[in-house]
Amino acid sequence: MGEEQAQTPAATPPGIALDEPRFGTRLLRRFAAVDWSRIGMGTLGIVALVIAWWLVALIIGDSVFLPTPAATVGTLVHYLTHPYPSQGDTLIGNTLISLARIVVGFTWGALAGIALGALMAGVRPIRLIVDPLIELGRPLPPLAFIPLLIVWFGIGEAPKIILIGVGVIPVMVVSVVAALDAVPEEYVEAALSLGATRRYALLHVRIRAALPAMITGLRLAMGMSWTSIVAVEMIAATAGLGYVILEASNYLVTPMIFSGILLIAVVALVLDGLLRLLRRLVAPMG
C-alpha cells in the first residue's frame, strides 16, 4: 500500500493543463509571430501613395478632376455624421447597409459553395455532373445577371443578396475542390487504418487539412462580393456606398467619390484581416 501511494503522481491544480497551452497563450504566440516588418513596409507604401496623390493633385490644381487627400478626408469626416445626399443617410449608415448586404450574400454563397465543393470532391458522379456547369458559369460576370434579377425580384434587397452569392459560389467551389484534392491521400489512409470512418476522415482529416486553402478562397470571394454590391447599388438602390458614389459622380462631387472608395477599401481590408486571422487560427501548422 505504501509503494502504491509513493507511485501516485502529484495532484494537478485545478484549471492547469499539462499538455496543451492555454488559449490565451496560443493567441499571444500567434500575435508574437506576426511579421511586423511586413506591416511596416506596407504602411510605408501607403504613406508614399498618399504623398504622390497629394503632389499630383497640387500640380493639376483642379479639385473636380483630382481633390487633395486633405479635401477628401475633410469631406469624409463631415459626411460621416451628415446625410448625403440630403434626403439620404450618413456615410456610416450607407456603409452599414452595404456591409449588411455583403455579410448576408457572402455567407449564403460561401456555405453553398463549400457544401457543393465538398460533395464534388467526395462523390465522383456529382463532380462529373456539376463540374461542366461550374466551368460554364464561372467566366460569366455576376453583373450580367443584374437585369434578370431586377425583372425577377424587383429592386429590393433580394437581387442584391442573390447577386453576391451567385458570384461567390463558383469561386468557393473551385477553391474547395482544389484544396481537398491537394490533401495527401496518406492522411486519409492513416485515419482509416486507425479505425476512422470515411465520413470522419473527410470531416476531421481532409477538410481540416484543406481549411487554410479554403480560407484563401474565401478571401478571393470577398473581393468579388464588393465588386458585385457596388455595381448593383449603382443600378438598383437608394442607399449604400455604390449609390453614394453614383450620386456624387452625377454632381461632380469628386471628394465624395474618393470618400466612398476609401470607405470600401477600409471595410474590405478589415474583413480580409479577419479572414487572415481565421486562417492563422485554423492552420494545422499555425
Question: Looking at the structure, do residues 42 and 180 belong to the same domain, yes or no?
Answer: no
Question: Looking at the structure, do residues 178 and 220 belong to the same domain, yes or no?
Answer: yes
Whether 70 is in a domain gets the answer yes
Mind listing the pLDDT tens digit for each residue in 62-72? 888 999 999 99
Residue 63 Cα distances to 79, 134, 139, 148, 262, angstroms: 18, 46, 38, 38, 17
- How many domains does the chain contain in total? 2
Residue 26 Cα distances to 3, 35, 246, 257, angstroms: 39, 16, 46, 42
Whether 234 is in a domain gets the answer yes
Question: Looking at the structure, do residues 136 and 214 belong to the same domain, yes or no?
Answer: yes
Rounded to whole angstroms, the Cα distance separating 102 from 230 reads: 10
> 169 is in which domain, residue-wise?
64-282
Question: Looking at the structure, do residues 44 and 139 belong to the same domain, yes or no?
Answer: no
Whether 248 is in a domain gets the answer yes
Question: Residue 74: what pLDDT?
Answer: 93
The residue written with cell numbers 443600378 in the block is: 235
The reported pTM is 0.77
For the record, the C-alpha cell of 267 comes out as: 471595410
Mean pLDDT is highest, among 145-154, 177-186, 255-264, for: 255-264
Question: Looking at the structure, do residues 124 and 50 belong to the same domain, yes or no?
Answer: no
Contact between 181 and 121 under an 8 Å Cβ cutoff? The reply is yes
Looking up residue 257, the CATH number of its domain turns out to be 1.10.3720.10
Question: Looking at the structure, do residues 69 and 35 belong to the same domain, yes or no?
Answer: no
Whether 85 is in a domain gets the answer yes
Whether 9 is in a domain gets the answer no
Question: Looking at the structure, do residues 139 and 268 belong to the same domain, yes or no?
Answer: yes
Residue 151 has pLDDT above 60, yes or no: yes
Whether 15 is in a domain gets the answer no
Question: Looking at the structure, do residues 125 and 236 belong to the same domain, yes or no?
Answer: yes
Question: Residue 31: what pLDDT?
Answer: 55
CA 11 and chain centroid, separation? 46
How would residue 271 be classed by pLDDT, with cut points 50, 70 and 90?
very high
Dihedrals phi, psi of 84, to nearest 5 degrees: -145, 125
Question: Looking at the structure, do residues 49 and 165 belong to the same domain, yes or no?
Answer: no
Residue 160 burial (C-beta neighbours within 10 Å; 0-12, 13-18, 19+) = buried
Mind listing the pLDDT tens digit for each residue in 193-215? 887 777 777 777 888 888 888 99
Mind listing the pLDDT tens digit for each residue in 65-91? 999 999 999 999 999 989 988 888 899
Strands, DSSP E only, in 48-96?
A: none
Contact between 212 and 279 under an 8 Å Cβ cutoff? The reply is yes
Whether 230 is in a domain gets the answer yes
